[in-house]
């Protein structure tokens, strides 16, 4: 098992401008762990409240969304360096990104100059789970690791489609990735629930086959199930009981002193709402039955 560099830091919430003061206050009264979307802050000009929280002892992990590690092209060195610079500025023990691609190819002639080189997807697109796709991903991850000053953790995304060429399920694909690169795994239980809701599969069974020995930390987030029974990973609603049950189960598997748990909230971000959701996360963690 690869020991998480943030193990034992408990339950935290993602840093967002709307709750920056509340995150700072909680960092002074017991919260030890947070995460910041890397593209939303500058390493050279960190928000004052984020600096104060860091100085109060809060461990903050930069979380990237634009590297596109599953894409056919090598990740942009400038994006990798910026992620690494942010880790240095925050004193972070690792950084994280996604197993996804976000851009592809060259844009057609006549495209505006801002997007002349690439077509941006605008969201996280799942990789085709094939041996060829895995080889590209492994190569890109190794190149990224070589430029970063700290370890890298990669997250499973909420997938709404599966490519026809798929030859591995997600646990097999992610296990092969972590074994080939030695990267850490950022386990998002809400994303796992969303993927199984959209594409089929038992999320608990898949969870148990994930590379749990490489988990750095865990994500939870809110969403809702529509009238067709499809779960939407919105990061803007309360967490569902199904997601919290998955969280409890992974704590049962990894132990209460294992990887920390991070609550993501990207819309309808309010301090009272986030505190209430954090209480639910802590209850889910504490309700785990860990064998002695």
CATH of the domain at 248: 3.20.20.150
First to last CA, the chain: 19
Q: Which pLDDT does position 70 carry in this prediction?
A: 85
1 in any annotated domain: no
Asked whether residue 5 is domain-assigned, the answer is no
Establish if 2 belongs to a structural domain: no
Report mean pLDDT in 10-residue bins for the chain, 292 residues.
Answer: 88 97 96 97 96 97 91 89 98 95 56 55 72 94 98 92 82 97 98 92 97 98 89 92 97 92 95 97 92 64
What kind and span of H or E run contains 108?
A: none
The structure tokens 């060259």 sit at: 106
Query: Does residue 109 fall inside a structural domain?
Result: yes
Does residue 28 lie in a domain region? yes
How many domains does the chain fold into?
A: 1
**Which token pair is 186?**
């950022």
* Assigned domain for 3 exists: no
The answer to whether 76 and 134 are in contact (CB under 8 A) is no
Per-residue model confidence (pLDDT) at position 135: 95
Domain that holds residue 186: 11-286
The continuous run of DSSP H or E covering 274 comes out as: helix 271-286
Is 43 inside a domain boundary?
Answer: yes
Give residue 119's pLDDT. 54
Report whether 19 contacts 53 (CB < 8 A). no
> Cα dihedral sign for 175, 176, 180, 183?
negative
Structure tokens at 96: 């994280």
Say if 160 falls within a structural domain: yes
């Amino acid at each position: 098992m690869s020991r998480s560099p943030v193990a034992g830091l408990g339950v935290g919430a993602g840093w967002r401008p709307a709750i920056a003061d509340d995150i700072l206050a909680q960092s002074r009264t017991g919260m030890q762990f947070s995460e910041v979307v890397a593209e939303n802050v500058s390493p050279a000009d960190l928000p004052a409240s984020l600096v104060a929280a860091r100085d109060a002892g809060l461990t903050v992990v930069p979380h990237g969304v634009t590297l596109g590690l599953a894409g056919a092209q090598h990740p942009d060195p400038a994006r990798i360096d910026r992620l690494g610079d942010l880790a240095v500025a925050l004193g972070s023990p690792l950084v994280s990104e996604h197993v996804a691609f976000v851009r592809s190819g060259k844009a057609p002639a006549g495209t505006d100059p801002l997007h002349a080189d690439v077509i941006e997807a605008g969201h996280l697109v799942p990789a085709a789970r094939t041996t060829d796709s895995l080889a590209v991903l492994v190569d890109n991850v190794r190149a990224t690791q070589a430029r970063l000053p700290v370890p890298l953790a990669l997250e499973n995304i909420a997938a709404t489609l599966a490519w026809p060429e798929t030859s591995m399920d997600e646990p097999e694909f992610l296990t092969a990735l972590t074994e080939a690169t030695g990267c850490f795994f950022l386990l998002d239980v809400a994303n796992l629930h969303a993927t199984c809701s959209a594409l089929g599969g038992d999320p608990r069974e898949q969870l148990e086959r994930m590379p749990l020995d490489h988990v750095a930390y865990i994500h939870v987030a809110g969403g809702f199930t529509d009238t067709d029974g499809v779960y939407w990973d919105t990061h803007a609603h309360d967490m569902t009981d199904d997601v919290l049950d998955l969280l409890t189960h992974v704590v049962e598997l990894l132990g209460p002193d294992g990887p920390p748990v991070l609550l993501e909230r990207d819309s309808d971000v309010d301090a009272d709402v986030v505190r209430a959701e954090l209480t639910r996360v802590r209850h889910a963690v504490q309700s785990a039955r860990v064998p002695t």
